[in-house]
Amino acid sequence: MPQFAQRIDSLEREGGRPLAGRLLRGIEKESLRVTSSGHLAQTPHAGLLGSALTHPSITTDYSEALIELITEPRGSAAVVLQELSDIHAFVYRSIGEELLWNSSMPCPIGGDDEIPVARYGSSNVARMKTVYRFGLGHRYGRLMQTIAGIHYNFSLTDPFWEWLLEREGSTQPLRDFKTAQCFALIRNFHRYSWLLVYLFGASPALCSSFVRGSSHGLSALGAGTLHAPYGTSLRMGDLGYQSDAQRSIDIPYDNLDEYVAALNHAIREPHPAYAAIGTRTKDGEWLQLSTSLLQIENEFYSTIRPKRVTRSGESPRRALAERGVEYVEVRCLDIDPFEPAGISAPTMRFLDAFLIYCLLADSPPSDLTARGRSRENFRQVVMRGREPGLKLARPDGNTVGLQAWALELLDGIERIAAMLRDDEDGSYQAAAAIARARVLDPSITPSARVLDELRGAGHSYADFALAHSRQHRGQFLSESIPDGVLSRFERDALLSLEQQRAIESADTLSFDDYVAAYYRQ
């Protein structure tokens, strides 16, 4: 009997109890800050929001204008969504008339000079974050870094892993067993993540300023707007986080040692184009951290990452190598422009069931050919996901229709959804039903809804995104923030500023020595 059938049968016999209360999920949501007229904000990160370096819930990503909102890992999708909404409400009360651009592809931007790189203070760790971002700008252009998305952090607690280890009869230490199973999950995620892009992709169009002067293959859709007629997520395609250097990196996911070794190689291997840039100007100003394929691990733009919380000054790959995988970070989710917080509770619940399916399903080792098939499937769904009759390649190379394969996957995912509980019975099954309806009717997917609204109202992409962002701003400002929540955010902001000052005063190494020590890991 296949592994999935054995595991799912065991769970069903126990009524899903091994999963009950064992799921944790958290959100990291990026948004551009824009002016009330929809142009990229040139103002610095608001002082009322605290320090972007140390605040636990509010930071910045590439740009000062690219804010990132972070929730704690929680046991309920509804609780995560409420926390994310509370953070939005606090931010809106701190940024004046500015808006959070609630769409993945950016607002109209004239060029790189309009995009301020994020600053985090004068400490070594702050300078390293900023130099890394300058390096990204030199390597890929700053405009690419204004694309925003949602990262979904997912884990299962130790009682579930203990149940699965006992059920499998494994003699591995729990940490090693959990790590191996997380890599199995990641391999299946790469095989099946095209389904997530089909179901939740919401960036089939963009402002023409984003591709000004470059070859793109998109079609015009009114003034200032380009689109892929059957596309789902331009953010995840060749126009997004891609480059020849990125495409040359092939990271295996068969085990932790190979994964860390491949990252180490990419971080140490010089790349001619980046060597031509150099690391410093003639005046000694830093241009990038290194001339390697990757400056640090985060530069590898994977759709999913194995993660572990790092200690101060510790590299992510060292944390993984020493202590194993703690959770996975899903990185292929677009911001949903129809949802005030950019994501809905049903979407989170489906993600939970999908990730558990990836964990439980048979997951043989992958090779270069199999990884290439998975990447090509993903690319096809990004650009053509709603095209009638679209065919994909199964792991064995045989072709299958997208709809038929999606329905086959949903059969297994729905069995998992039937065992999961959140704040109300049936909420996971309802989320799976929404997914099945979208597979059967592509016109109700978020990407189709975006294009329908653009065509029906005659809006440009910029007008569409601005209108929804204004609507969401009004909603967040109209809702009250509980006093306890408001005081916590205010306290966190003040404390984060104190923590930043403490870090700055504690530095003893020169910046050059700090960077060298980081790479010695």
Give the tokens for residue 473.
């701003």
> What whole-number distance in Å separates Cα of residue 23 and Cα of residue 75?
6
Q: How many residues appear in the chain?
A: 521
Neighbour tally for 336: CB within 10 Å:
23
Question: Sign of torsion, CA 25 317 132 374?
Answer: negative
| CATH of residue 486 | 3.30.590.20
Give the tokens for residue 430.
């309802």
Neighbour tally for 330: CB within 10 Å:
21
Question: Sign of torsion, CA 23 304 335 110?
Answer: positive
Residue 240: the pLDDT is 62
> What whole-number distance in Å separates Cα of residue 345 and Cα of residue 348?
5
Residue 313: the pLDDT is 81
Q: Is residue 272 part of a domain?
A: yes
pTM for this entry: 0.96
Please check whether residue 90 is in contact with residue 71, taking contact to mean a CB–CB distance below 8 angstroms.
no
Q: Is residue 416 part of a domain?
A: yes
* The residue to which tokens 């972007």 are assigned: 52
> What whole-number distance in Å separates Cα of residue 66 and Cα of residue 72?
20
Q: Is residue 106 part of a domain?
A: yes
Q: Which of 208, 100, 66 is nearest to 466 (CA)?
A: 100
> What whole-number distance in Å separates Cα of residue 116 and Cα of residue 280?
19
Give the tokens for residue 78.
């509804």
Look up the domain containing 417 and give its range: 3-14+24-520
Q: Is residue 19 part of a domain?
A: no
φ, ψ of residue 17 in degrees (nearest 5): -60, -35
Could you tell me which residues come within 8 angstroms of residue 104 by beta carbon, excluding any fewer than 6 positions away? 147, 148, 149, 202, 203, 233, 235, 334, 335
* The residue to which tokens 């980046």 are assigned: 274
Domain count, the chain: 1
Could you tell me which residues come within 8 angstroms of residue 284 by beta carbon, excluding any fewer than 6 positions away? none
Residue 455: the pLDDT is 94
φ, ψ of residue 276 in degrees (nearest 5): -65, -30
DSSP string, 220-264: E-STTEEE-TT-SBGGGSTTSS--HHHHT-----S-HHHHHHHHH
Pure H helices in 325-479: 345-360, 368-384, 402-417, 427-440, 446-457, 461-478
Could you tell me which residues come within 8 angstroms of residue 96 by beta carbon, excluding any fewer than 6 positions away? none
Residue 275: the pLDDT is 96
DSSP string, 13-26: HTTTGGGTT-EEEE
Q: Is residue 53 part of a domain?
A: yes
Q: Is residue 452 part of a domain?
A: yes
> What whole-number distance in Å separates Cα of residue 367 and Cα of residue 379?
18
Helix (H, G, I), strand (E, B) or coil at 321: helix
Residue 365: the pLDDT is 94
Give the tokens for residue 449.
């809804």
> What whole-number distance in Å separates Cα of residue 345 and Cα of residue 107?
26
> What whole-number distance in Å separates Cα of residue 391 and Cα of residue 415?
25
Q: Which of 301, 299, 294 is nearest to 267 (CA)?
A: 294
Q: Is residue 244 part of a domain?
A: yes
> What whole-number distance in Å separates Cα of residue 241 and Cα of residue 334?
13
Residue 1: the pLDDT is 57
Please check whether residue 325 is in contact with residue 179, taking contact to mean a CB–CB distance below 8 angstroms.
yes
Residue 436: the pLDDT is 98
- Ordered per-residue pLDDT tens for the chain, 521 residues: 589 999 999 999 999 999 999 999 999 999 999 999 999 999 999 999 999 999 999 999 999 999 999 999 999 999 999 999 999 999 999 999 999 999 999 999 999 999 999 999 999 999 999 999 999 999 999 999 999 999 999 999 999 999 999 999 999 999 999 999 999 999 999 999 999 999 999 999 999 999 988 888 899 998 899 999 999 999 999 876 566 777 778 899 999 999 999 999 999 999 999 999 999 999 999 999 999 999 999 999 999 999 999 998 889 999 999 999 999 999 999 999 999 999 999 999 999 999 999 999 999 999 999 999 999 999 999 999 999 999 999 999 999 999 999 999 999 999 999 999 887 778 999 999 999 999 999 999 999 999 999 998 888 999 999 999 999 999 999 999 999 999 999 999 999 999 999 999 999 999 999 999 999 88
Q: Is residue 201 part of a domain?
A: yes
CA 214 to each of CA 111, 208, 239, 255, 502: distance values in angstroms, whole numbers, following the listed order: 13, 10, 10, 39, 45
Query: What is the number of alpha carbons within 13 Å of residue 11 lying toward its C-beta?
Result: 23
> What whole-number distance in Å separates Cα of residue 155 and Cα of residue 326?
7
